Structure 1
Amino acid sequence: MTPSSVTRPASRPRPADEPRSVARSALRLRTFFAERAPTRIYLTYAVLWVLALQGTLAVLAPESDWRLGGSLLAEIATVYLALLFIRVVDEQKDLEYDRQYNPDRPLPRGAIDVVELRAAMVLIVVAELALTGWRSPLLAGWLLLDLGYICFLVQLERWSARVRDRIFVNLLVSYPVQALLSVHIWLSFRQATGTGPVPDAVFGALLCACVFLHYEFARKTGARVVPGASLYSNVVGRRGSTALTVGFALGAVGLALALVRPWELHGAVALAGWLPLSALGFVWGGGERFASLRTPTWPPGPAMGFLAWCYLGVFITALVVARPGFGG
């Protein structure tokens, strides 16, 4: 998940011979994360992703003793830090592209340097091991696999022009990062509840994939071809990319409704079950603005709104249906 870039005033690059201060680097990193990984977006995404996926698993396994407690909070923190790690790696991986198309971003303009970003990566890994190791060696190992795969992608793009330059191939090899995190959330649920069959995990992962891919295609769908830009619409055209954007949203909502089949329920449970359907309002709003050519790309606000509201709707449904306990 990558928030839209915001133009910032140019910062003075740090000369190579300037002494490196821990306090100064910490301040630069804090500024970097505030700009490129705002807490209100990244933490909200982590919270809703974990709650929605674990809520889905709880609904599918009614015998589970799903609880809103310490293990859940630890998993949210784990996913949040993984998202920060992804952001840090992506900034380094996309440096050459950003120098041409996004020179105002922190790394190209010299507001942060690669050494500081790699130091942040090390600190994140240490924190992740602390968050997962006490819960389960499997959780720690699976997370290291995901973080290692993220780093491998940097080398893969350097080795393969096909992966680097073909956006659909790039998506094919990079989406497993998100999928591996979904599996981690499932493993955390299993570790905490003692249940969670594989078919349930597949259903939950598909729902999360559709939600994420709606956002992914939306933010890279343009009204016209932009040579050299990373846009799906450059490959399949405006209509094709729009169809993928809308199609994944419909798939996500369809799976969310199939989770509890609200048409078979009554009262508050039925009302909660229909809630994810209202997320399509964001798709309509974004599509209307884009179709009227008021924005050069599909507006990111409605795409983020769909992601957040769909996940929130699934979680509220899980609260009503699964009725989790608290603590533990």
Structure 2
Amino acid sequence: MTTPTTGPVRDLSDGTSRSVPRSAARLRAFLSERAPARVYVTYAVLWVLALQGTLALLDPGSGWRLGPALLAEIVSVYLALLFIRIVDEQKDLEYDRRYNPDRPLPRGSVKVADLRAAMALIVLAQLALNGWRSWPLVAVMLLDLAYICFLVLLERRSAAVRDRIFVNLLVSYPVQILLSAHIWLSFRQATGGGPVAAALTGAALCACTFLHYEFARKTSADRTPGATLYSNTVGLRGSVLLTVLCAAGAVGLALTVVRPWELHGATALAGWLPLSACGFVWGGGERFASLRTPTWPPGPAMGFLAWCYLGLFVAALAIVRPALGG
């Protein structure tokens, strides 16, 4: 006996079939606004290429390759960056309702359910991307994603983590460390090289590069009560000093890795490229010192990060000459 299809069941089916594309459309609009591909993809590409290039320079016999494994690692890091952005949007919802009501989540153009569905899809994608390579890659990535979620609970329960900017940096930076460890493990999986000492050097270089951007974007000439600024805690001079020292540390480590003074011809020119990233520090500092911007301009700070990473990768290409293929 055939059971007739009733109106309510048909309506429910139609509603469900429409809800998925609507949710996908909301997510696309959200990511376009809050995690633009030109920024997030560029950061993922340069981070992976620069760190693996650093590892190859420190271990030139590793047989570094530009192939499917490297591409999978770039996609994996990009998805992790999206996961961070999605979690941060939910974590900051109450704050944004008060101070940033025009952002997608508080204004209602995307729903919490949409974001949590995207988180679940990212986890599944990470399992697929890393599972075919090795279980340590899966373990480190899942640990990183779990720690990102743990930070939400930690900030809600700890006033020190929530309100003290250096404490917050201390407990949140392991997210970056775990991603650098993942890039290193990917390199080891693909080449068998990359000793721990090289990994530590590469992680320190990436830390200095990222922290230049982090300190720069939260350095202001004005003391703003309640604002999350490093200059509010250590003063303007202290915050500027941290910004400049991190850039100097990144360039110094990059030159130590590349050793351009030992190179010749076009290879030497490629080797000196990371040093030219200092131009972004000078440009940002000059604009800030002349008070043309109330805070250290984020454009030059991001430019320093991108150019330093690009310079490292170009130097690695010129010196190591990686093979193409899987």
Distance in structure 2 (CA, Å) of the matches to 1:104 and 1:285: 31
Distance in structure 2 (CA, Å) of the matches to 1:208 and 1:94: 26
Distance in structure 2 (CA, Å) of the matches to 1:21 and 1:229: 39
TM-score normalized by structure 2? 0.93
Distance in structure 2 (CA, Å) of the matches to 1:252 and 1:101: 34
Q: State the Cα distance separating 1:237 from its structure 2 match.
A: 1.4
Distance in structure 1 (CA, Å) of the matches to 2:281 and 2:98: 31
Q: State the Cα distance separating 1:197 from its structure 2 match.
A: 0.5
1:59-101, CA deviations, whole angstroms, 9 ceiling, x for partnerless residues? Answer: 1001101000000000000000000000000111122222233
Distance in structure 1 (CA, Å) of the matches to 2:161 and 2:47: 27
Distance in structure 2 (CA, Å) of the matches to 1:98 and 1:217: 22
Structure 1 residue 159 and structure 2 residue 163: aligned?
no
2:33 to 27, 32, 35: 35
1:213 to 204, 211, 214: 211
1:114 to 109, 112, 115: 112
Partner of 2:172: 174
Distance in structure 2 (CA, Å) of the matches to 1:93 and 1:221: 23
Distance in structure 2 (CA, Å) of the matches to 1:307 and 1:276: 10
Distance in structure 2 (CA, Å) of the matches to 1:232 and 1:100: 22
SS in 2 for 1:127: helix
Distance in structure 2 (CA, Å) of the matches to 1:326 and 1:196: 19
Partner of 1:57: 55
Distance in structure 2 (CA, Å) of the matches to 1:98 and 1:289: 29
Partner of 1:234: 232
Tell me the amino acid that sits aligned with residue 178 of structure 1: Q
Partner of 2:20: 22
Please show how residues 61-100 of structure 1 align to structure 2 within 5 Å.
61-100=59-98
1:128-178, CA deviations, whole angstroms, 9 ceiling, x for partnerless residues? Answer: 111000011110111000000000000000110110010000000000000
SS in 1 for 2:60: coil
Tell me the amino acid that sits aligned with residue 132 of structure 1: N
Tell me the amino acid that sits aligned with residue 159 of structure 2: A
Larger Rg: 2
Tell me the amino acid that sits aligned with residue 327 of structure 1: G
2:199 to 198, 201, 206: 201
Partner of 1:289: 287
Query: Identity percentage over the alignment?
Result: 77
1:254 to 244, 248, 252: 252
Q: State the Cα distance separating 1:293 from its structure 2 match.
A: 1.0
Q: State the Cα distance separating 1:272 from its structure 2 match.
A: 1.1
Q: State the Cα distance separating 1:275 from its structure 2 match.
A: 0.6
Distance in structure 2 (CA, Å) of the matches to 1:217 and 1:100: 25
Q: State the Cα distance separating 1:110 from its structure 2 match.
A: 1.6
Partner of 1:5: none
Distance in structure 2 (CA, Å) of the matches to 1:182 and 1:21: 37
Q: State the Cα distance separating 1:32 from its structure 2 match.
A: 0.4
Paired residues, what number? 311
Q: State the Cα distance separating 1:302 from its structure 2 match.
A: 0.6
Tell me the amino acid that sits aligned with residue 195 of structure 1: G
1:192-243, CA deviations, whole angstroms, 9 ceiling, x for partnerless residues? Answer: 0011100000000000000100111111111111111111111111111111
Distance in structure 2 (CA, Å) of the matches to 1:70 and 1:86: 24
SS in 2 for 1:227: coil
Partner of 2:272: 274
Higher helix fraction (1 or 2): 2
Tell me the amino acid that sits aligned with residue 33 of structure 1: L
Q: State the Cα distance separating 1:265 from its structure 2 match.
A: 2.1
Of 32-41 and 99-108, deviating more is 99-108
SS in 2 for 1:21: helix
Distance in structure 2 (CA, Å) of the matches to 1:232 and 1:190: 37
Q: Could you list the runs of 4 or more consecutive aligned residues of structure 1 that deviate by over 3 angstroms after TM superposition? A: none
Partner of 2:8: none
1:186 to 179, 184, 187: 184
Tell me the amino acid that sits aligned with residue 65 of structure 1: G
Partner of 2:308: 310
Distance in structure 1 (CA, Å) of the matches to 2:55 and 2:99: 41
RMSD of equivalent CA atoms:
1.2
Tell me the amino acid that sits aligned with residue 42 of structure 1: Y
Tell me the amino acid that sits aligned with residue 196 of structure 1: G
Q: State the Cα distance separating 1:31 from its structure 2 match.
A: 0.5
1:47 to 37, 45, 58: 45
Distance in structure 2 (CA, Å) of the matches to 1:21 and 1:234: 46
Distance in structure 2 (CA, Å) of the matches to 1:34 and 1:189: 30
Tell me the amino acid that sits aligned with residue 101 of structure 1: Y
1:298 to 296, 299, 306: 296
Distance in structure 1 (CA, Å) of the matches to 2:144 and 2:310: 25
